[in-house]
Homo-oligomer: A and B are copies of this chain.
Amino acid sequence: MFVTHLECSSTGERYEAGKPHNLSSAGKPLLVRYDLDAVKAALTKAVLTSRPADMWKWRELLPLPDRAAPVSLGEPETPLIPLTKTGGPNLLVKDEGRLPTGSFKARGLAMAVSMAKHFGVERIAMPTNGNAGAALAAYGARAGMRTFVICPAETPAINVHETAAYGAEVYVANGQIDECGRIVGEGAAAGKWFDCSTLKEPYRIEGKKVMGLELAEQLGWELPDAIFYPTGGGTGLIGMWKAFDELEAIGFIGKKRPRMFAVQASGCAPIVRAFESGAESAERWENAATLATGIRVPKAIGDFLILRAVRESGGAAIAVEESEIAQAVEDAARDDGFLLCPEGGAVLAGWREALKRNLVTRDERVVLFNCASGNKYPLSDKAGRIDLNNVDLAAL
């Protein structure tokens, strides 16, 4: 266990490790800090490579004490797959749909629920647009906890049903995710449960940062030129940015960083608006609407951290239209046999937009994050019908 303390991401105020936390006294996310010199002395690339390829191979850079068993549903390293026809051999997708419950939310919730269990928490709750709630419920079931999930009415049915199947108490509400989050916060204040909302709990980001750790190792410890990330709450983007610094501190990578692109839908683009206006934080986006529900987040508590990482990296925040999202999903499936989720489609559309604006070139190595299995989202029916007793083979 190499954790030294937690730290307010805004004021730098220190908090004691080894107990449950939510936000700092300034109302900002807490970040876990490690004794990176000690990690550097303890961990070699060769040892890492010899371990089973899952998220728990990174234990020295994770907050769970060695003696505590993780709450796990099998979290293997996710593959990097080139979209050769769509973008050439340098355009890679990291397919996060391979994780438990079919989305990258599993990384953060495996970590958060493992820590909550370690601390003796028995009741957990969160607001969700779908995949996070399902992952919370699955890991909550595995840990033997009672789980409460509140989601907007537009949440995909598959997520609602899946979450309920894991035995969670699921409520569908007439509001956006931040409004659902308010109720979760009130319940936590009333002692009904522990609040596992994005970045209001400091360990999810530690699970999410493993995306950045894996990526570095998969690419031979040479980070890509650019990363395109579907940005709702932004935990993964912030987490990867943190991971890269930690990897440099332990001597596994050099100073090179990818340009970080935060992709949002034009119907809910608070980070893009703040990025373009030069603001350090983002105003709430009213009347948020996009079929890419995972990035329908009107107000992100980590807004300033997302904006800071994007700017420090020399990247950008980019908004894409619904029609561009749909087109991207259609193209990658038909041409490369890869079914992106809508948020993954947004990211491919964002890369296309960045190409147009000369923010990235075709020969640069780029990683797109496909945050969930495309099979969790409805598609249209394009099947024909045939009568088996009367087939015209010539017409097939």
Contacts and interface: CB of A to CB of B under 8 A. Distances in A.
A73 B337 CA distance: 8
Contact of A388 (B75, B174, B385): B174
B338 A73 contact: yes
Interface string A48-65: 000011100000000000
Contacts of A74: 79-81, 95, 98
A337 B396 CA distance: 44
B102 A165 contact: no
A376 B173 CA distance: 25
A286 B151 CA distance: 45
B98 A396 contact: no
Nearest to A138: B337
Interface string A356-390: 00000000000000000111101111111111110
Given A334-B167, A378-B161, A98 B76 contact: yes
A139 interface: yes
B102 A383 contact: no
A190 interface: yes
A386 B173 contact: yes
Contacts of A374: 162, 165
A170 interface: yes
Contact of A158 (B139, B375, B382): B375
Contacts of A148: 396
Interface in A146-205: 148, 150, 157-158, 160-167, 169-175, 179-180, 182-183, 186-187, 190, 192
A167 B379 CA distance: 13
Contacts of A170: 382-384
A142 interface: yes
A47 interface: no
A190 B388 contact: no
A245 interface: no
Interface string A332-345: 01111111000000
A212 B183 CA distance: 49
Interface in A65-100: 72-81, 85, 95, 98, 100
A391 interface: yes
A166 B77 contact: no
Given A171-B386, A379-B161, A382-B161, A98 B101 contact: no
**A interface bracket (residues with beta carbon within 8 Å of B):** 35 or more
Contacts of A391: 183, 186
Contact of A396 (B80, B163, B192): B192
Contact of A173 (B141, B171, B187, B387): B387
A299 to B, nearest CB: 15
A81 B142 CA distance: 11
Contacts of A373: 102, 373, 375
A393 interface: yes
B102 A141 contact: no
B378 A187 contact: no
Given A162-B375, A175-B388, 15 more contacts: A74-B80, A138-B338, A140-B337, A141-B334, A160-B381, A161-B378, A161-B382, A162-B339, A167-B335, A170-B382, A171-B384, A173-B386, A180-B388, A373-B373, A373-B375
16 contacts: A52-B53, A73-B337, A76-B98, A137-B337, A138-B333, A162-B339, A162-B374, A167-B333, A171-B384, A171-B396, A172-B385, A173-B386, A179-B388, A183-B391, A183-B393, A373-B375
